[in-house]
Amino acid sequence: MVKSRIVQNILLVIFLISPVAQLFSQEVRVDTLRKHTDTIPIIHDSADVALRIKNLNPYVTLPVDSTLNYRLEINKDQTKYYWYLRNSPVGLRINKDNGQLTFKAEKSYFLSGRLRYDHEYKVFLGVQNLDNPADRVDTFFSILFYNTEIIPSRLKPSVSSTLWVDEGDTVAFKVQCENGNFPIENITFYANMPLKVVSQVKKCDDDFVWAVPFDFVKDTDSGKVKILNLTFVGANKFMNKDTAGVKIIVRDALNYPIAVQDYNLAVRNINTYILQLKYSFLQLDKRVRGTKNTRTTFDITGSTTALTGSILASSTGEGSQKVGKVLPSVGVSLVPIKEAIAPQKVFDQNQASLVRTSIKRLEYMVRDNTLVGERDPNISQKTAKLKDELKQIQIQLIDIPIVDANDMTEEELNEYFNSPKVSKKYRLKK
């Protein structure tokens, strides 16, 4: 019984294993034939499919002197549609039948101002069904042109490269910039010698202002000129630099403010000396006038005595005749007394005349050397003439005592000096 069960189990296992063995014993076959693929797309041109542009680029950038050839596609049969543009820049075209965009970015468009660099142009684009106007698409794209040419920025001072100035002048000019692709952001200033400028140049359109001092040109400088070299260096954000130079040739010139002070000092000294001379003239004239009055008194007294004696001598009385004979002798005796008491002041008279003449000469020199205009070019010569004339008069009148007019004002002295009586007295007689 046990054997029979064993045989049954063996047969059962063989029965179960035999299909699997048969399966593995079969040969695997692979289909090597290429399946047919349809390469013609099915165009769904029905009203249920929305019209759209498949390859529109919303943002286009073009360099100068480049060409754009770009064909737009839609999801329907293009033969039934036409294309159009609105608000397109100069030169941009589209083929209305196949949507071919063409553009030649010629440089002449930009040079003439028809197009601009780095300016975004908004172009409206549309496609519409020829049979159904409602079947359409309106959209837009942006196009921008840029320049690949490197245009450097330049510094341009508003003056020529060489300037001639005089001491005391003010040099003022503007440092301008011709901006290229990258504008100049800062400017550095250099000079071949230390300067005290009024305003610094640090950016475009700043003013350079420098007042030339009067002691700028030294006596050791050849030709009485000094050359100043100014250098302006501009740099953009990439530190690309441009340099501009200005050469200033400074000529030696008169320090006019100091010269005016020197001239005014010379005039003031002459006016002070004239007042002193007028007071000295007054003192001399008083002494001459006092002596003259005394001598006149003696002359009148002597003449009166002689006349009285002549009258009494012709009288009938004996006593009167005796007195008349004596009186002429008395009148004659007054002459030596006059000379002893009041001798003639010839020296004082001559000194007074000399002082008056010197005063008139100094006043004439001051009037003749008056400054003309705001900047008299002959101020140095006029100042030298006044100083020389004052020195000559002082040497000529060195023996005459000079007294300050402490007790009289300038108006009183001028009134006395210019009085008709005094002028008549010292007037030249023919």
Element (H, E) at 101: strand 100-104
Dihedral sign from CA coordinates of 281, 286, 289, 291 = negative
The fourth-level CATH superfamily of domain 59-146 is Immunoglobulins (2.60.40.10)
Residue spans per domain, the chain: 59-146, 154-253, 257-425
> 76-80, 115-119, 419-423: which has the minimum mean pLDDT?
419-423
Name residue 298's beta-bridge partners: none
Q: How many helices (H) and strands (E) does the chain have?
A: 8, 14
Average pLDDT on 264-287 reads: 82
φ/ψ of 164, rounded to 5, equals -110, 120
Whether this model's pTM surpasses 0.75: no
Helical residues (DSSP H) of 40-141, grouped into ranges:
107-111
Asked if the domains 59-146 and 154-253 are classified in one and the same CATH topology, the answer is yes
The domain defined by 154-253 carries CATH number 2.60.120.260 = no
Percent of the chain at pLDDT > 70 equals 70
Confidence band (pLDDT; 50, 70, 90) for 156?
very high
Average pLDDT, the chain: 78
Residue 38's pLDDT band (cuts 50, 70, 90):
low
How confident is the model at residue 247, as a pLDDT? Answer: 94
411 vs 409: CA distance, rounded Å: 5
For residue 32, give Cα distances in angstroms to 24, 28, 29, 35, 129: 22, 13, 9, 9, 46
Q: How many residues does the chain have?
A: 430
Residue 346 banded pLDDT, cuts 50, 70, 90? low
Q: Is residue 242 within 8 Å of 234, Cβ to Cβ?
A: yes
Which tokens in the block code for residue 256? 């006019």
pLDDT in tens, 255-275: 888 888 999 999 999 888 888
Taking Cα atoms as reference points, which of 99, 198, 105, 210 lies closest to residue 148?
105
Instruction: Name which of 175-189, 200-214, 280-294 the model is least confident about.
Output: 280-294
Strand, coil or helix: 176:
strand
Q: What is the pLDDT of residue 134?
A: 86
298 torsion bin: left (phi>0), alpha (psi -120 to 50), beta (else) = alpha
Reduce the DSSP state of residue 7 to 3 states and report it: helix
111-115, 161-165, 317-321, 406-410, range with the lowest pLDDT: 317-321
Q: Between residues 121 and 288, which one has the greater pLDDT?
A: 121
Helix 256-313 with 346-368: angle, nearest 10 deg: 150
